[in-house]
Homo-oligomer: A and B are copies of this chain.
Amino acid sequence: MTGFAPIRRTSVSAAVFDQIAAQILDGRLAVGAALPPERTLTEEFGVNRQALREALQRLDQLGLVEIRHGGATRVRDYRRSAGLDVLPRLFLGADGAIDPDVVRSVLEMRAAIGADAAALSADRMPAPLVEELQALVADLAEIDGDDVARLSAADIHFWDLIVDGSGNVCYRLSLNALRRAYEPVEPIVDRLMLDERRDVAGHRAMIAAIAAGDAAGARDAAVRLLAQGQAAVMSHFADGPERDTEGRP
């Protein structure tokens, strides 16, 4: 905790990608519109065609544009063609403010998947994972209630075990995507989630139900646990947009 942050190296093609993606996601580039030819974009950005093409390939991979050999590259409707991977770029609107609707969406999905994963874990989680889970919560009780970093790490570990134990690869991949979506607002969220993460009793209840093979009980416990952070974060973002991503005031 030195207060330093990793240097952000940004390659040329990544910079091009960012600019085009931003224009598509905030609507400056309309759906169906044709991008200028590659050779023209090359001049506009002042980059090489190879770097430009790498950016376009990534945009295509993400579902933001459609590249057609011989035809124009067109903007797709990301709401119909993109996957969860675009989420991190949806948090911040054109004005740099955090979009509360996106925050709410992420929290709702977190709750839905977390609850179902907990229920499935009650049926399927192998014994070794259950033991690891119990050990983890024993450690959780020892963590200083203000140690944001350790609580965050424990939380990540906890849900990794739950999702792995559910045996559902979709939930596993969704969790990855949702976590990457958090990143832009991580400092705020880590603070707001404190109460949920240090709720030892809530975690214990969930594990007990899972260990007992009680799917309904595990689901209820998960719902209660996840509702805490959801309420805390939503009450924070409901009032108005948020720009601060730094430490406490």
Q: How many copies does the complex hold?
A: 2
Q: How far is the CA of A223 from the CA of B87 in the complex (A)?
A: 27
Q: Which of A16-35 contact B (CB under 8 A)?
A: none
Cβ B83 vs Cβ A84 within 8 A: yes
Contacts of A108 in B (CB 8 A): 116, 120, 168, 170-171
Q: Is the interface of A mostly helix, strand, loop or mixed?
A: helix
CB A205 to nearest CB in B, in angstroms, measures 21
Find the B residue at minimum CB distance from A172: B79
Q: In the bound complex, how far is the Cα of B102 from the Cα of A216, in angstroms?
A: 23
Q: Which stretch in A52-60, A134-142, A194-202, A237-245 binds the other chain?
A: A52-60
Tell whether A177 is near chain B: CB-to-CB under 8 Å: yes
* Contact yes or no, A87 B173, CB < 8 A: yes
CB-CB under 8 A from A190, the residues of chain B are none
Q: Is the CB of A105 within 8 A of B169?
A: yes
* Chain B proximity mask over A95-107: 1 for CB below 8 Å, otherwise 0: 0000001101110
- Point out which of A79, A87, A172, A173 has the most chain B C-beta atoms below 10 A from its C-beta: A173
Distance of A87 Cα from B13 Cα, bound (Å)? 26
A residues contacting B by CB (< 8 A) are 9, 11, 13, 50, 53-54, 57-58, 61-63, 69, 79-87, 90, 101-102, 104-106, 108-109, 112-113, 115-116, 120, 167-174, 176-178, 180
| Given A58-B61, A81-B176, A87-B169: 11 more A-B contacts, CB < 8 Å | A54-B54, A57-B57, A58-B58, A79-B172, A80-B176, A84-B170, A84-B177, A106-B170, A108-B170, A109-B168, A109-B171
